[in-house]
Chain A
Amino acid sequence: MSEEAQLVGRCRTGDQQAWRELVEHFSRYVYAICMQGFRLERHAAEDVFQEVFARTYEHLDRLRNDDAIRPWLAQLTRRLCIDCLRASRRESVTDEGDVEAEGSESWDEGLMRLDEALDVHEALAALGGDCREILDRFFARDESYKAIGDALELPAGTIASRISRCLSKLRDELEGRRPRLSASSGSVTR
């Protein structure tokens, strides 16, 4: 059973800490679908984001396979984004042509990219020391060496070399997870 499925199982028992972890875990994924996949305006993205998690909380019992939480969330977010765009009448949206209308990337390609990114973030979460913070701040939060150094009380001049070392550790972590990732991706419907 994947870590995500275990998290869903804990949520079903009413474990509130598990719910907080589930939201934290998938928040970037849902946010990216809203903002990158559908390019919603910020206020619309916030509405969709909250609705996704409200429905997830309400309907978690209906999920037949806990391992399918990720594709289930992706489809729910997609459907709500489409509804939102239709309601705003910003543009004519069709079920199949929405993402293509916004860029060159199809829905499937875009989702695959975000799925891979979430796998990498999961591996990052497993790294110890400062690596998680350093890599997340530099790549995902787009912070400067100075900002990272200030926040973590590290000399700014050492950040570049730490990033390089941490990337190397993350690559090793991902290589170690490869069989698990392959196995879990085969057990869900994408």
Chain B
Amino acid sequence: MSYDEHGIAEALSALPPAPAAWVRAAQELPLLRRVLDEIVVRIEQDDEFRRRVVADLETALQAEGYDPDPALVEALRHRLAAE
């Protein structure tokens, strides 16, 4: 490309920022994955916790000190449905 100012301005305009919440959610993937793995292990090893999760996922997570963030809840539901 030629680096005249018009071309540079067009290039800058071509990439507006993605919504901040989308970026943040993608950045938190590793953390989400780690918490998810931890919860799944607990569900597999603790029958009482499993029973409470099946009855009311959000309440069970809150009771165990997890933040029932919608992304976590959705990912967990998806994971449990797949198992």
Contacts and interface: CB of A to CB of B under 8 A. Distances in A.
Interface of A: 16, 19-20, 23-24, 27-32, 36, 46, 49-50, 53-54, 57, 113-114, 116-121, 124, 135-136, 139-142, 167-168, 170-171, 174-175
Interface of B: 1, 3-5, 8-9, 11-19, 22-23, 25-27, 29-31, 33
A104 B2 CA distance: 22
Contact of B12 (A54, A114, A136): A136
Q: Is the interface of A mostly helix, strand, loop or mixed?
A: helix
Nearest to B15: A28
A113 B5 contact: no
A27 to B, nearest CB: 4
Residue in B5, B26, B27 whose Cβ sees the most chain A Cβ within 10 Å: B26
Q: Is the interface of B mostly helix, strand, loop or mixed?
A: helix
Contact of A114 (B4, B14, B25): B14
A29 B26 CA distance: 14
A16 B30 contact: yes
Contacts of B1: 116
Contact of B26 (A50, A113, A141): A50
Contacts of B9: 139, 167
A18 to B, nearest CB: 10
B25 A50 contact: yes
Given A57-B30, A120-B11, A141 B16 contact: yes
A132 to B, nearest CB: 11
